[in-house]
Amino acid sequence: MKFVAVLFIFALGLGFIHPASAADPAQAREVARINNCPPKKIEVYQQSLGAQGKTLYRVECNMPKAKSDAAAGATALLVSCDENLCEMLRTMPPESK
């Protein structure tokens, strides 16, 4: 039993087995910058594990305050990351408090 565990850790260290979540928030941050959203806060919105694992990040934008409520636009982006490839899915409306 110990031999199997050692073999698994060795294979993981050599890169034969990929971890389920290879994307990191830095890649989501870069996608937000490209889409004119200076990131303020990045949090995991949804995550699926397995061979085809994906991570959805919710990136809050550091936008200037709007003078009126009618002028307020999207304040967050939804970014999808699959392995090392991240792309913007859609904008998210501001949260009402």
CA-to-CA distance for 78 and 56, rounded, in angstroms? 7
Sign of CA dihedral 32, 78, 88, 77: negative
| pLDDT at residue number 4 | 65
pTM of the model: 0.68
pLDDT digits (tens, 9 = 90+) for 11-57: 666 554 455 445 689 999 999 999 988 999 999 999 998 888 899 99
Measured CA to CA, the distance from residue 78 to residue 44 in angstroms comes to: 10
pLDDT in tens, 52-92: 889 999 999 987 776 665 555 678 999 999 988 999 999 88
